[in-house]
Structure 1
């Protein structure tokens, strides 16, 4: 008996934090030959997309075929993929991002069962076969006749902590940390290098230009400030898979990004020796880690400087302390809103004015921004919002490094709220059950 599993997804966050763990779980749950169970991924348009989501999904060995978002409407309206895929008579459509109605329409056309992962809201109760929900509250208002369709699977973003490799990374960062530890234990004071073990700090400035324009110069300048007072610190950037190294480096170049001067003038350039690094004019080196995910190195960080987004969920799941930065010097930069706000913010000519207004209104009513804080319903990781400057950020980092008990307290709170793991396995089980119903 042969089956197709069709996964619908959209943006970079969904592709990396939802699709990746689910396809792994599906292959473990359904170990049949590829000739029997085939996994396809179709992407729909997303305002946050980089255009490289299809390439990322193609790199997952569990996936058999991928269609990029540019061909989605043709598939939705007429049922034709760009490469004229064939479809088996039995299958399941799995929703992992986009509009839940897409799952309804496509499953109806193919005659497949449907499984929807609902993070905050579940729709189309009468037309969808199964829902895997993040929390019980998502199913709280469901009519009793549909209650049997709902299963609490947990938070897919929490899978990051469960999948962290216990094998020591071969990164030069970790090697250097090990060497520093050995040096400290050695009798020669000359080899002690200030007598303290390396402190790893990750910089996560984002993956889209709207965030990188401010995030790269701010985090680099903050890193220089910290390094000047604690030379044992080493910094790295886990580069988003959707981002080219040259593009990332351009946001740290004063000749290409005017915001470098606004954040203190710390200009940097890309250097590729044994591994790529950003090197500032003052000599600070920041290693660029290109493998994804880089959970093994992130889990060893003392603290991270990050922007808002899915990365805060991943760091929270790893229980890594963080400071969340949202600089507002470029108030019209954030245009990747969903729905009508996104359309208005991207209108030619007047879009910037709409973006400034929308973002101003957002800042007045922003609430909690980082995922761990949203989960906990309180600020357990600091959120800095406003016209931030490197000295302000650097002083907060130094305060945490000088008071490790504060870092440990934050780490403990992150561990307490990250929730149960296993959401991907539970969702894969729902898919398996829907396949069994077709035998």
Structure 2
């Protein structure tokens, strides 16, 4: 039997890629790769942003030994049994990296394991959790002194993007041929507007600088056919909104190594499916991205970006968490709720991109409103014509990243709990 078990609790695609991936890597580096000594399991809980591919993503991490998908979570939470009836060692640690913080309390008691919670903004159940790894000192500021020794500041796991590894198959940057990354998101609510807008922007830039290369690092939860459907005028009515004439998927092109989205104007946009796409992104002169974890990864890599939040159709934005998301997706009346929620959001919005949140200032542009491809395209062209502006953004991103090493500190805390 395995000597120690580490059980990772997580939920959505963002948590898996920006929290779980670096932590399991750090755990293996610290505890070794002997699976008879230490086994790492991932159990997923339901998430409103889930695509259904989260289990496959977790299984793709070489450090992970076994994964249970979210559909079996409640059975595990209530009865302590997995769908495949996993056996557990007598000693172990439950590590919370997404979901509800009550979950490690319940599961830790059932398994008799120590519990470690990564708390980004708020820490709960102080008397029932063994250790808290928190993003900032402010998270622990209001904690009773009798629990203070449970708290360790580790930093922001979203900063843990790995340094790019040279890859001979990756595009090689050419100062005369800028590479622009396009990250329109992974969920339908964002893709419906993001795909036609960013491709229309790309066509405008390509018309002015024909040798510009455009690349899309495809989200691991998204297949190529689904992505292409949002560039199809027969399937996505927003193409007309952004004056975009459409694009089609080209899977096997003789002169291209990667699948393409080929627009009606003849622009080829390469589709890259390697994950994570840090090496590709590090070669980009600038990226066009929506809000979300993408901005954290780009910021950690020091890649300049323009963050886009188009609002041509307020009722199209329905990917909110909690009650707002439920209201916005109600049959019949959801559209009305979505318009109201998004109108209120736009009136009160603060900083949206993670690098700006870190810096408490808009160090990368956030464009919110009825965006037009030509206007955004001209902004990109201005950045490309003035490389000193891009360098200023890179410098500000490096300064905003803060202290690295959160995953290694998490691994140290887990190791200490194994020892107990």
> 1:352: Cα distance to partner?
2.0
State the TM-score, normalized to the length of structure 2: 0.97
Aligned to 1:268: 247
> 1:404: Cα distance to partner?
1.0
Alpha-carbon distance in 1 for matches of 2:223, 2:92: 36
Query: Would you say the 8 A contact 1:220–1:266 is kept in 2?
Result: no
> 1:323: Cα distance to partner?
0.3
Aligned to 1:61: 62
Local SS of the residue matching 1:341: helix
Aligned to 1:167: 166
Alpha-carbon distance in 2 for matches of 1:109, 1:341: 33
Describe how 1:330-341 pairs up with structure 2 within 5 A: 330-341=313-324
Gaps (5+ residues) in structure 2? Answer: none
Local SS of the residue matching 1:71: helix
Aligned to 2:35: 34
Aligned to 2:379: 396
Describe how 1:227-246 pairs up with structure 2 within 5 A: 227-246=206-225
Alpha-carbon distance in 2 for matches of 1:113, 1:415: 36
Alpha-carbon distance in 1 for matches of 2:99, 2:168: 35
Query: Would you say the 8 A contact 1:42–1:68 is kept in 2?
Result: yes
Aligned to 1:200: 179
Query: Would you say the 8 A contact 2:197–2:244 is kept in 1?
Result: no
> 1:169: Cα distance to partner?
4.2
Local SS of the residue matching 1:275: coil
Alpha-carbon distance in 2 for matches of 1:362, 1:226: 31
Alpha-carbon distance in 2 for matches of 1:425, 1:96: 14
Instruction: Report Cα offsets for 1:61-80 as digits up to 9, x if no partner.
Output: 11111011111111111212
Alpha-carbon distance in 2 for matches of 1:345, 1:259: 19
Query: Would you say the 8 A contact 2:164–2:282 is kept in 1?
Result: no
Gaps (5+ residues) in structure 1? Answer: 182-195
* Match of residue 378, structure 1, among 351, 361, 369: 361
CA RMSD of aligned residues (A): 1.2
Instruction: Report Cα offsets for 1:128-184 as digits up to 9, x if no partner.
Output: 111111111111111111111111111111111xx122414413x32xx4xxx5xxx
Query: Would you say the 8 A contact 1:368–1:378 is kept in 2?
Result: yes
Instruction: Report Cα offsets for 1:213-265 as digits up to 9, x if no partner.
Output: 00000000000101111123110000000000010011011121111111112
Alpha-carbon distance in 1 for matches of 2:82, 2:238: 42
Local SS of the residue matching 1:391: helix
Query: Would you say the 8 A contact 1:169–1:296 is kept in 2?
Result: no
Aligned to 1:305: 288
Alpha-carbon distance in 2 for matches of 1:224, 1:24: 39
> 1:348: Cα distance to partner?
2.2
State the TM-score, normalized to the length of structure 1: 0.92
